A and B are shown apart, each in its own frame.
Chain A
Amino acid sequence: MAVILIVEDDIFTRDMAEMMIKDWGHDTLSASDVEEALLLVKSPRRIDALFTDIYLKKAVLGGCELARHAVELRPELRVLYTTGNSPTNQMKALFVDGQHFLPKPYTPDQLQNSVRGLLAA
């Protein structure tokens, strides 16, 4: 069982991801933007992995910035990015080392495979 922080500005999509991940036996935390997510990252709560959308509200590459800050604060943190856009070179250059990527729309099976791979890495 792991604790996964889900950062997604679309409430329905975030709730569905939480529901799926909980179904697989993990705990979740959730946030809708970078600031909210960083508050959780800076808190003493256990977080094993970050599953973040890249385009967060007005922040076009907000998920990338969040992941970089989060990994600075928690070097062991694993990161799974998702986005509805095709990943650009600019985007990829901002990815943290050892990241995983899951394009939208993802199915529950694809998310489960990605989370499994993320936690096994």
Chain B
Amino acid sequence: MTDIAFENQGKVLAEIAASEIVETIPSALIILDRNLNIVSANRAFYQTFRTSPGDTEGCHIYDLGNRQWDIPALRTLLESVIPHRASVEGFEVEHDFPTIGLRTMLVNARKIFSPGNLDGSILLAIEDVSEERAARADSKRNWQLTQSIVDTIRDPLVVLEDNMTIVTASKAFLTMFGITEAETRGRRVSELGQHQWDVPALRNLMDKVLPENKPIESFEIEDDFPGLGRRVFNLNARKISQPGNHAHRMLLVFEDITDRKQRERDAVTLANEISHRIKNNLQVIVGLIAYEAKWTAAPCVQGYKSMQTRIGAIAQLYDLISQSSKGPTIAVDAYLREIAKTMSAGLLGNTSGITIEVKAEALDIDPDLAVPFGLLVNELTTNAIKHAFPGGTGRIVLSVERAGDQFEFAVADDGIGMKEKDPAKIAEKRGADYVAIFVRQLGGTVVPFVVQEGSGTTIKVRLPFLLVPPVVPPGHVEGMAA
């Protein structure tokens, strides 16, 4: 083979290879001559624009497909930009094509020169980025919508990236803390202001929100904030995700609870003040009784002492009620435990051989009935302590359990047992009159029991009231008529 023949064969092979490469490229490619007539196009072009080589090759670019390529932006590129530059990249053309509809095209253009063609041809690579641009526009609209929602929320909030930097802050946040959006974006919450949020416990909690999907509920921070003064904030945070997007962000809401906190503190102060005055007044009453007892005949002194003890019990019950209270109701088990603890400390002491245990179901009691219930517990338990254990050792169990649609309260001891069946007949000795009155006040009944001397005593009282929260029918919405 001659050198010329070898060279020609090489050229042919190179052209075939180039042609194959061009055909496999997913972007639409066309080559224009200097007059903007189409020399050739690749398969991707024909597929994208639903045309054929016969309708395309030799056609002027603007005349192609009923002049649908006669686009002002493309004219600008081809007539004003290309003549002065060897290449253009990322020229965006948006056009409503009759055959394929509205499209956004990214056009890369390059002048190509070959031996004997000094004017150069123009290679246009056209990439259809319509879907990407639509997705970007959707994302932008979503972001604007999100930002609008964020801005309408009254509580200040920020959205954080997974590296804990702020992506966006609500208007309420910017207004409250007197900072600009630029001052927040890209910064960590801990860096804001005078580093009031730079609290190790908060940092630890925030570090777990995204990786462990563990929300922060009501983290309280109290501090002095520039321009705001002393404030208390409740922080809540949770992970937010967008469908189809693997990136997660954190929504951090700052609830200003300063006023609420102050009201709570005022209420506690007032309650303490009232409690203090009540106790002092009860102390005066106990003092009056003590003074009377001083000049009373010896047989009556015990009665005065019992009166003083019961006044003390009422005062203690108010404390125990506040310790066992959970909103509008009082937890019976906690209340009984507090009573048991107080009676153990007051009547038995650390060295006593008598123990008081509590076995109670998780039930709630109406606060209005808590005092008579506490006095009933106090009376029965005091009786057991005083009379059941002449040897000084034993066990008392206070229990509350369901019994049908009622609740049964019991004081059981493993002492010497009662000799008299009817508690009312031993009123003078055991304060059973008080027991009867408290039971009647509570709307309950004493359960008859069998006396077995030497085998302890169990006194049971049926009470109808204990469980306070009403059963709400399914589907019922408070404040709406069924």
Is the beta-carbon distance between B312 and A85 smaller than 8 angstroms? no
Q: Is B137 an interface residue (CB 8 A)?
A: no
- Determine the main DSSP class of A at the interface with B: mixed
In the complex, which of the residues A19, A55, A104, A110 contacts B291, with contact meaning CB atoms closer than 8 Å?
Answer: A19
Contact with B along A2-46 (1 / 0, CB 8 A): 000000001011001001100100000000000000000000000
Complex: how many Å from CA A48 to CA B315?
Answer: 30
Complex: how many Å from CA A12 to CA B280?
Answer: 10
Task: Give every chain B residue within 8 A of A84 (Cβ-Cβ).
Answer: 275-280, 283
Is the beta-carbon distance between B290 and A104 smaller than 8 angstroms? no
Is the beta-carbon distance between A104 and B308 smaller than 8 angstroms? no
What's the least CB distance linking A114 to chain B, in Å?
11
Is the beta-carbon distance between A107 and B284 smaller than 8 angstroms? no
Contact with A along B276-314 (1 / 0, CB 8 A): 111110111111001101100000000001001101100
Is the beta-carbon distance between A13 and B291 smaller than 8 angstroms? no
Complex: how many Å from CA A16 to CA B290?
Answer: 8
Of B280, B284, B315, which is in contact with the most chain A CB atoms at under 10 Å from its CB? B280
Q: Is B40 an interface residue (CB 8 A)?
A: no
Q: Is A97 an interface residue (CB 8 A)?
A: no
In the complex, which of the residues A23, A55, A105 contacts B283, with contact meaning CB atoms closer than 8 Å?
Answer: A105
Complex: how many Å from CA A13 to CA B286?
Answer: 9
What's the least CB distance linking B86 to chain A, in Å?
80
Task: Give every chain B residue within 8 A of A19 (Cβ-Cβ).
Answer: 291, 294
Q: Which of A74-97 contact B (CB under 8 A)?
A: 83-86
Complex: how many Å from CA A120 to CA B275?
Answer: 32
Task: Give every chain B residue within 8 A of A104 (Cβ-Cβ).
Answer: 279-280, 282-283, 315
Complex: how many Å from CA A10 to CA B282?
Answer: 12
Task: Give every chain B residue within 8 A of A85 (Cβ-Cβ).
Answer: 272, 275-276, 279
How many A-B pairs with Cβ below 8 Å? 68
Q: Is B329 an interface residue (CB 8 A)?
A: no
Is the beta-carbon distance between B275 and A86 smaller than 8 angstroms? yes
Interface residues on B, range: 20 to 34
- Determine the main DSSP class of B at the interface with A: helix
Complex: how many Å from CA A110 to CA B316?
Answer: 14
Task: Give every chain A residue within 8 A of B291 (Cβ-Cβ).
Answer: 16, 19
Task: Give every chain A residue within 8 A of B322 (Cβ-Cβ).
Answer: 86
Complex: how many Å from CA A84 to CA B311?
Answer: 13
Task: Give every chain A residue within 8 A of B283 (Cβ-Cβ).
Answer: 10, 13, 84, 104-106
In the complex, which of the residues B275, B276, B290 contacts A20, with contact meaning CB atoms closer than 8 Å?
Answer: B290
What's the least CB distance linking A33 to chain B, in Å?
15
What's the least CB distance linking B388 to chain A, in Å?
21
Complex: how many Å from CA A107 to CA B272?
Answer: 22
Task: Give every chain A residue within 8 A of B311 (Cβ-Cβ).
Answer: 105
What's the least CB distance linking A96 to chain B, in Å?
21
Q: Is B346 an interface residue (CB 8 A)?
A: yes
Complex: how many Å from CA A106 to CA B313?
Answer: 10
Q: Is B319 an interface residue (CB 8 A)?
A: yes
Of B286, B291, B294, B309, which is in contact with the most chain A CB atoms at under 10 Å from its CB? B286
Is the beta-carbon distance between B312 and A107 smaller than 8 angstroms? yes
Q: Is A103 an interface residue (CB 8 A)?
A: yes
Is the beta-carbon distance between A103 and B308 smaller than 8 angstroms? no
Is the beta-carbon distance between B279 and A105 smaller than 8 angstroms? yes
Complex: how many Å from CA A83 to CA B280?
Answer: 8
Is the beta-carbon distance between A107 and B308 smaller than 8 angstroms? yes
Complex: how many Å from CA A109 to CA B306?
Answer: 11
What's the least CB distance linking A74 to chain B, in Å?
27
Residue of A at shortest CB range from B276? Answer: A84
Task: Give every chain A residue within 8 A of B282 (Cβ-Cβ).
Answer: 104-105
Is the beta-carbon distance between A109 and B287 smaller than 8 angstroms? no
Task: Give every chain B residue within 8 A of A83 (Cβ-Cβ).
Answer: 276, 279
Residue numbers of B with Cβ under 8 A of A are: 272, 275-280, 282-287, 290-291, 293-294, 305, 308-309, 311-312, 315-316, 319, 322-323, 346
Taking A12-B284, A85-B272 as given, write out 17 further A-B residue pairs in contact, using a Cβ cutoff of 8 Å, ordered by the A residue number.
A13-B284, A13-B287, A23-B294, A84-B276, A84-B279, A84-B280, A85-B275, A86-B319, A86-B322, A104-B279, A104-B280, A104-B315, A105-B279, A105-B285, A106-B283, A107-B309, A110-B312
Which 7 pairs show the lowest CB-CB distances between chains A and B? A84-B279, A16-B287, A105-B283, A107-B308, A105-B282, A84-B276, A104-B279
